[in-house]
Amino acid sequence: MKILKRTLILCALFCSLSFVVYGCSSSDNNTDSAPIPTETAVETEKKAINAPTAEETEEKKKNKDIFNDDNIKTFELSSDDLHEGVWDTIITNTANGSNVSPHLKWEPVPDAECYAVYMIDTTAGNWLHWESYGLTETELPQGWANEDEYVGPCPPGDTHSYEIYVVALKKNVELTNLNYDGSNIFFSKLASELDVYDNTEGNVISYGHIKGTYTYGD
């Protein structure tokens, strides 16, 4: 009987030790359940600061533009030459116009080294009417751009839609593939190149966007 009791006690101890050793070892080596590091708290905070508000996201949905990334913030852009959604005749390259670039104004964007300006006719395959780089000003008077950077709207007929983008950049990037005073069907693809500097994404901080129409014969 004593031998049987001792045998049972030894078996119980052996089982207990096996559970502790192998149980703990199994838990410690289970790398599949270990959390995978994602991003630092600083990176998370930066994303939260730069993320657009719900109002900005909703506004972008209403006014579809070339920047389809909802993570890029927008800023207010205005022009004294745009009234009730119609561009003033003076900015056009027509018999009644003066072919001068429109007035633009926006607030300075923190951390922006410079700005780029584009004006396209979305009715005519993104015809590029204005292309300026490396701007440091935040208000451009009427007629600011020279003839190598700006040619006014001159629709061949009907009503055309002209949109202006002012893009705030960390570093200056020039889009060499754009066709000035010509159609740029893939303008949205080319514009995404602004976001890359020195092989690193995130060069675009934010942008302003306004649009208006001009009708042939006005």
pLDDT, tens digit (0-9, with 9 covering 90-100), for 14-64 = 444 443 334 433 334 444 445 555 556 555 554 555 565 665 555 444 446
Residue 46 lies in a domain: no
20 is in which domain, residue-wise? 2-33
Residue 42 lies in a domain: no
Residue 158 lies in a domain: yes
Mean pLDDT of 154-180: 94
Say if residue 80 is in the same domain as residue 9: no
Beta bridge partners of 120: 128, 163
| pLDDT value at 88 more than 60 | yes
Q: What is the pTM of this model?
A: 0.71
Inter-CA distances, 47 with 2, 40, 198, Å: 72, 11, 21
Mean pLDDT computed over every residue of the chain:
81
Structural domain count of the chain:
2
Say if residue 147 is in the same domain as residue 201: yes
Residue 7 lies in a domain: yes
Q: How confident is the model at residue 94 (pLDDT cuts 50, 70, 90)?
A: very high
Say if residue 67 is in the same domain as residue 121: yes
Q: How many CA atoms lie within 13 A of 140 on its CB side?
A: 23
Residue 66 lies in a domain: yes
DSSP 160-174: EEEEEEEEEESS---
